[in-house]
Structure 1
Amino acid sequence: MLYHPTRWHARALLAACIGAFGVGTAWSAAPVGPARDRPAVISQRAAQSVLLGIEQAGKRLIAVGERGIVVVSDDNAATWRQVSAPVSVTLTAIRFADDKHGYAVGHSGTVLATVDGGETWTRVLDGRQAAQISLAAAQANGNATALHDAERLVADGPDKPLLDLLVLDARRVIVVGAYGMAYYTTDGGQKWSSWADRLDNPRGLHLYAIRRHGERILVCGEQGLVRLSEDGGQTFTAIKTPYSGSFFTAELPSDNEIVVAGLRGNVLRSLDAGANWKQITTPDAASITGSAVRADGSLVLVDQAGMVLSESEGAFATLNSTRLPSLTGVFPRRDGSLLTLSVRGVLSAPNGGQK
């Protein structure tokens, strides 16, 4: 496993920078102690903070971001309120299985769970537990390299972020993150197992995104890493692409279609499950930080330069004539309109034409 702390997910890096220098958000003094063990501070301006993940649970929208912020909206994003969270670490992604059961992941190996639609949250995994799980798996497998890496993970302490997750149902969840961390649970987070040995990632490259379409599961990450499973995650195949830079996001819009996007505005599409790839043109070289598939099957992307990109005739065009703040994610609402996540919270975006 290679340890290279300067290489981070674009959204996580952005959050770290903003968190260090501030974005004008008023924060009261926080209790002393590690952020992983300290409840999030309640702020009147939480909804204007750096937000990195958003999801819908029933009629409720829930967004997560820096300093353990969780905000919810019950009026279609017209207003937001912060709810309590048991950690103050940056939360990077959120997914729900149904209207009530959901999970969020973040820094320090954090996984949070909710059973009431995001109103309350419980920590079900942290970096200390994750490191011990990796160590036990390496000891059981007898792989000397894996054992060395796991011992290093334990020695380093809980300082590494989880960056994405796949919620298969209310009890089955897969989480992935920096340095090849990957874990899964089949009982709602009471017990976790290592998933890393399935992904053929001996260098411990960061895993930035995980997506599912039917039985197909895709994981993408640092230095062009793409892994594809055709059997629900039991086994994975390494997929080669024409680009060796990092992929920060991905989508599986249809049965054999894969789209990966990331560093310097690179977007690639395969229509045959990764056998062949075609580059999709984007307006500039800003890193792609978020993606989504709209109800009509069309793709929408956002980038660090504050642009919302919609696909038309095999290329991406900008929907907004004026740059928004640096964007970290995008969410298509059920009415077809778009919400974006940014360093200044949730923002509406130009809708653009749909098919």
Structure 2
Amino acid sequence: MHFSHARSRSKQRPLPIESLSMKHPLAMLGLWLAIASSAFSAQGQNTPVKEDAQHRWTHAPSKVDPMRGVFFAATQAGQRIVAVGDHGLVVLSEDGKTFKQAQKVPTRSPLTSVHFHDAKQGWITGHDGTILGTRDGGEHWDILRQERGKDEVLLSIWFADAQHGFAVGQFGLALETQDGGKTWERRTLSTQTHVAEKHLIHLFPGRQGMLFIAAESGTIFRSADSGKTWQAIQTANKGSFWTGKALSDGSLLAAGMRGHVYRSQDQGLSWTAAVSGTQQSLTVIHERQDASVLITGTGGTLLQRAGVHQDFKLQTRGDNASLTGVVSHASGDVFVSTAGILRND
């Protein structure tokens, strides 16, 4: 088994190391600091890609040189993969193997999350309070919102339909739109200041209008009425949750700092700890169509669970690149990371 780097097909000049995340550390959240630190370390030392005992990882070729790209999130727009990252980076792939840069991205701010309602309409969040929108599957993006100079960091976005959506971020920043992102209104999730100002890191939907937000200090925000009102649920976790997912079996998973994984079987009212087998921080929970679960993490961490009643199995990338997202494409699992775009072949 061998890890190989793909050659870039771009004539575009690679982004210089100093332009990446360590030039402007990604907010004050441990998540982005850890990711930025890993990215700088991996690139600055030119760490070779090593073998993994169970998987052969290869770098997918990219027109923007993903070996130089620092990615923070990925999703699908129909069958197309859309990945976003540092320095306004947006790349697209039809086959999960070759990637091209989006034709128009009107910002150089770090981009932190991406969501598509269908194959054409999608949104991206980022630093400077940035929200971008597309109506052509990610080829062209327009600025829907931006607040330069206010140190606003948006970390997650989700839409219930083509018009109604939410974006959340640092220091309790919560926004809602009813017109597809053209205008946004601020929302307060709690009347208690110490709760209302918690970092809101990942927004995810549940069943029948349920919404959840993975937040700092072991807090999960829960809404049973499509985001009209919110309840702060304090778990036994003392660290921040970075990700969450409503699974097809009706349960919820949340994960984050120091390898903590928590599970809820009552729609988020109570949470119990699960064994992860790692102390690396966990970034994204992903469920495949066969109901198997992947959890990505820093330090090259990948947890896999084949079934509901099975334990997570730990695997680690040889070069310790932080995995920040995964998409299960028809061609196989595609991961985004601080070291670029990777395939698990």
Q: Same fold (TM over 0.5)?
A: yes
Partner residue in 2 for 1:78:
97
Q: Which among 97, 116, 140 is matched to residue 136 of structure 2?
A: 116
Question: Deviation of residue 52 (structure 1)?
Answer: 0.8
Q: Evaluate the alpha carbon distance shift between residue 298 and residue 46 of structure 1 in structure 2; reply closer, same or farther with a 3 A threshold.
A: closer
Counterpart secondary structure, 2:247: coil
Question: Deviation of residue 171 (structure 1)?
Answer: 2.0
CA contact (8 A) 1:46 1:69 kept: no
Q: Name the CA distance, whole Å, in 2 between partners of 1:213 and 1:189.
A: 22
CA contact (8 A) 1:89 1:108 kept: yes
Amino acid at match of 2:222: L
Q: Which among 136, 157, 172 is matched to residue 180 of structure 1?
A: 172
Q: Which among 92, 96, 105 is matched to residue 125 of structure 2?
A: 105
Amino acid at match of 1:341: V
Structure with higher RCO (Cα < 8 A, 6+ apart): 2
Q: Name the CA distance, whole Å, in 2 between partners of 1:199 and 1:311.
A: 35
Which deviates more from structure 2 when the two are superposed, residues 291-300 or residues 81-90?
Answer: 291-300
Say whether 1:280 aligns with 2:299: no
Q: Name the CA distance, whole Å, in 1 between partners of 2:192 and 2:246.
A: 22
Q: Name the CA distance, whole Å, in 2 between partners of 1:22 and 1:127.
A: 31
Q: TM-score, normalised by structure 1?
A: 0.77
Amino acid at match of 2:204: R
CA RMSD of aligned residues (A): 2.5
Q: Name the CA distance, whole Å, in 2 between partners of 1:319 and 1:264.
A: 16
CA contact (8 A) 2:280 2:298 kept: yes
Q: Evaluate the alpha carbon distance shift between residue 200 and residue 289 of structure 1 in structure 2; reply closer, same or farther with a 3 A threshold.
A: farther
Say whether 1:346 aligns with 2:337: no
Q: Name the CA distance, whole Å, in 1 between partners of 2:72 and 2:244.
A: 16
Unpaired segments ≥5 residues, structure 2: 1-25, 45-62
CA contact (8 A) 1:56 1:62 kept: yes
Q: Name the CA distance, whole Å, in 1 between partners of 2:328 and 2:152.
A: 30
Structure 1 segment 101-250 matched on structure 2, within 5 A: 101-128=121-148, 157-195=149-187, 197-200=188-191, 202-203=193-194, 204-214=197-207, 215-250=209-244
Question: Deviation of residue 200 (structure 1)?
Answer: 5.0
Partner residue in 1 for 2:295:
301
Say whether 1:92 aligns with 2:85: no
Q: Name the CA distance, whole Å, in 2 between partners of 1:304 and 1:102.
A: 27
Question: Deviation of residue 45 (structure 1)?
Answer: 1.9
Q: TM-score, normalised by structure 2?
A: 0.79
Question: Deviation of residue 283 (structure 1)?
Answer: 2.0
Partner residue in 1 for 2:312:
316
Partner residue in 1 for 2:325:
329
Question: Deviation of residue 334 (structure 1)?
Answer: 4.2
* 1:108-161 alpha-carbon deviations (Å, 9 max, x no partner): 110000011000000101125xxxxxxxxxxxxxxxxxxxxxxxxxxxx32221
Counterpart secondary structure, 1:23: helix
Question: Deviation of residue 22 (structure 1)?
Answer: 8.4
Q: Name the CA distance, whole Å, in 1 between partners of 2:101 and 2:192.
A: 38
Amino acid at match of 2:198: L
* 1:28-70 alpha-carbon deviations (Å, 9 max, x no partner): xxxxxxxxxxxxxxx8425641111111112211110000001
Amino acid at match of 2:96: A
Equivalent pairs counted in the alignment come to 298
Unpaired segments ≥5 residues, structure 1: 25-42, 129-156, 351-355
